[in-house]
Amino acid sequence: MKLTELYLVTIITERYFRDEILEKLKEFGATGFTLTDTTGEGSRGMRASDFEGKNVKIEVVVSKDVGNNIIDYIADVYFENYSVIAYAYPVSVVRGDKYV
């Protein structure tokens, strides 16, 4: 079987936090990540223009355990004071054994 059931965790944040979050993701066991430049407007009512070229979407494919640790970390460290979006959903991954 070529597919493994894993989780895709997506974090969208100011680019300022990118490197410290990536370090943490590796500590938690993520073996890779994908970065995409984005712009956006968050639940605090900030305008897209204020963030033009300033946000980053971080995506990692991880096991459920690693995903839960990442989510707890993001919720605990960033949600109180910063505009961060984080969500997870199950994905069927080609050769997913490489990621766990």
By CB under 8 A, name the binding residues for a copy of itself.
Answer: 2-3, 6, 8, 12, 22, 31-43, 48, 55, 57, 61, 71-72, 74-75, 79, 84-96, 98-99
Least separation in angstroms between residue 20's CB and a copy of itself is 14
Least separation in angstroms between residue 16's CB and a copy of itself is 16
The CA distance from 57 to 65, in Å, is 21
Least separation in angstroms between residue 69's CB and a copy of itself is 12
The CA distance from 84 to 100, in Å, is 26
| CB of 20 or CB of 32, closer to a copy of itself | 32
Least separation in angstroms between residue 63's CB and a copy of itself is 13
Buried-exposed string 58-85: b where 16+ CB fall within 10 A, e elsewhere: bebbbbeebbebbbebbeeebeeeebbb
The CA distance from 77 to 65, in Å, is 18
